[in-house]
Amino acid sequence: MKNPFLVKGYISSEYFCNRKIETDKIISAIENRRDLTLISPRKMGKTGLIYHVLNQNLIKEKYYSVYCDIYQTGKLSEFVTVFGNAVINQLEKTPDKMLKKIKRFFSGLTPSFSFNPITFQAEIDFKIVNHREAENTLQQIFVLIKNSKKPVVIAFDEFQQITGYPEKNTEALLRTHIQQLINARSIFSGSSKHLLSAMFSDYNRPFYQSTQLLTLPKINKNDYSGFISEKFSAAKRTIDEKAVSHILNITRTHTYYVQYLCNRLYESRIKKIDKEVVDKILLNILYENEGYYFTYRNLLTTQQFSLLKAIGKEDGVAQPSSKDFILKYGLGTTSTINSAIKSLLLKDLIFKEGDKYMVYDVFFSLWLKLLS
């Protein structure tokens, strides 16, 4: 039996827990011609959900879908290359037609064209050398979409990246193009909450209130419990109820961490899984990761690390500058704490969940708890 707990990528609904409400919401937005923004902390399941939506029969039948992950892009020309490749690979399935189209549409450029033998995808290097060419090529890509035979769903994953491009007009440029597309709906997805929400909710920004906002919550505990028990019993193994709820508690039901812990439990081949087994496997994971955690520690000041450790030990803190908390962990003054909080937030080592500051990485948080 293959391990049913994925820790990367999307295969099919068989390996995907729930997300019915969110899937329906996104499909409804698509069907009703609304653009949508999907936000959540990292590793909560945005990318998985996008793939899940694009994999639904209704979407596959009625639309072309273009998925582009722009995490690796740092400037407009790179965006255009990733986006252009995603569009061309989706809209033209045969290499001949693809080539023809490229020649016709990108006549001003001399793009080079190759096939990746591993992904079976065409790879186009547009050879963009300046800003004008980037803008022109972008324009051509949108014309291609406009001429598509079917309506198009475009997913821009890690969309907050564009705020870091040196071309400060990128937001306005994309907004103008996207606004004019009658036959396409866009999904903007990203993790960096402040960056992405600012883009869509500041009234002086181009994308202001242009999309429906969907904040991806945690997966419902009951549904996740059912999913986990089912996968083990399908492999003729048992996991008791307490063990399952223990998994969901210690991982805060943060999707990736649930998946990872279950993946390692599944790998262990242990037939009867109880709470003790979960703790044993968890400990293995934490020790394995220790190298990373020491690196984090070396990147922080003593003050920042002490605060991080205290937040981990408390499983989240609402008021880090309160007297009790400072005294309990010997943390110094209110003002040093405030500046440490700021820099931990900036480094994405902590984030705010509800009214509490939490250590972002769940396993790191659990490791901090083990420290004296």
Q: By the criterion CB under 5 A, which residues form the site for Mg ion?
A: 46-47
- Take residue 257 and report the two structure tokens written for it: 């961490």
106 contacts ligand ADP (rule: CB under 6 A): no
- Residue 17 interacting entry, from Mg ion, ligand ADP, none, C-beta within 5 to 8 Å by type: ligand ADP
Please, what's the b/e burial string for 148-167 (b: 16 or more CB within 10 A of its CB; e: otherwise)?
beebbbbbbbbbbbbbebee
Nearer to ligand ADP, 12 or 372 (CB): 12
Q: Which of 37, 77, 90, 259 binds ligand ADP (CB under 6 A)?
A: 259
In angstroms, give the least distance from the CB of 313 to ligand ADP: 26
- Take residue 353 and report the two structure tokens written for it: 């969940």
DSSP E strands: which ranges in 87-231?
112-116, 121-125, 152-157, 184-190, 212-215
In angstroms, give the least distance from the CB of 15 to ligand ADP: 6
What span, in angstroms and rounded, lies between the C-alpha atoms of 278 and 124? 47
In angstroms, give the least distance from the CB of 346 to ligand ADP: 19
In angstroms, give the least distance from the CB of 9 to Mg ion: 11
Nearest partner of 84 among 112, 57, 118, 63, judged by Cα: 112
- DSSP assignments along 202-248, one per residue: -TTSTTTT-SEEEE--PPPHHHHHHHHHHHHHHTT-EE-HHHHHHHH
Element housing 147 (H / E):
none
In angstroms, give the least distance from the CB of 214 to Mg ion: 14
266 contacts ligand ADP (rule: CB under 6 A): no
25 contacts ligand ADP (rule: CB under 6 A): no
What span, in angstroms and rounded, lies between the C-alpha atoms of 159 and 155? 9
- Residue 270 interacting entry, from ligand ADP, Mg ion, none, C-beta within 5 to 8 Å by type: none
Nearer to ligand ADP, 255 or 304 (CB): 255
- Residue 186 interacting entry, from Mg ion, ligand ADP, none, C-beta within 5 to 8 Å by type: none
Nearer to Mg ion, 47 or 255 (CB): 47
82 contacts ligand ADP (rule: CB under 6 A): no
320 contacts ligand ADP (rule: CB under 6 A): no
218 contacts ligand ADP (rule: CB under 6 A): no
| Side chain identity, residue 67 | Y
Report CA 55 to chain centroid distance, whole Å.
17
What span, in angstroms and rounded, lies between the C-alpha atoms of 305 and 368? 10
Per CB under 6 A, contacts with ligand ADP among 175-204 are 191
Q: Which of 26, 30, 45, 81 binds ligand ADP (CB under 6 A)?
A: 45
SS3 15: helix
In angstroms, give the least distance from the CB of 78 to Mg ion: 18
Q: Which residues bind ligand ADP (CB under 6 A)?
A: 6-9, 16-19, 40, 42-48, 191, 219, 255-256, 259
